[in-house]
Amino acid sequence: MISRIWHGWTTPANADAYEALLKSEIFVGIQNRRIAGYRGIQLFRRNIADEVEFITVMWFDSIDAVRAFAGEDYEVAVVPPKARELLSRFDARSQHYEVRAESKA
């Protein structure tokens, strides 16, 4: 299993609009692509000083599945134009980790 982690920041004024865009359009669009090996996405949000930080964690079966999502240079961030309009800054590249263990309650 591969975890793809990405960070983006926005202003408090744009945070709710950005979260709504993610949930209503971007996540749905990813799901509708029906990428083989895509297992889902999680969204994290926190307020920090004068910004709001968002983290997405995507789950894939393999790096090949990540490539099917992001392209051959799979570390490049996939940030649609509507999202770029609401973000003040974001990671240009995503980080990828091999999941080595998992423990559930």
0.85 exceeded by the pTM?
Answer: yes
Quote the CA–CA distance of 81 and 95 in Å, as a whole number. Answer: 21
The pLDDT tens digits of the residues spanning 52-84 come to 999 999 999 999 999 999 999 999 999 999 999
What's the CATH architecture for 2-98?
2-Layer Sandwich (3.30)
Collapsed DSSP state (helix, strand, coil) of residue 12: helix
3-state SS of 24-61 is HHHHHHHHHCCCCCEEEEEEEEEEECCEEEEEEEEEEC
The pLDDT tens digits of the residues spanning 23-46 come to 999 999 999 999 999 999 999 999
Quote the CA–CA distance of 34 and 37 in Å, as a whole number. Answer: 9
Q: How confident is the model at residue 9 (pLDDT cuts 50, 70, 90)?
A: very high
Q: What is residue 74's predicted lDDT score, i.e. its pLDDT?
A: 96
- Provide φ and ψ at 62, rounded to 5°: -160, 170
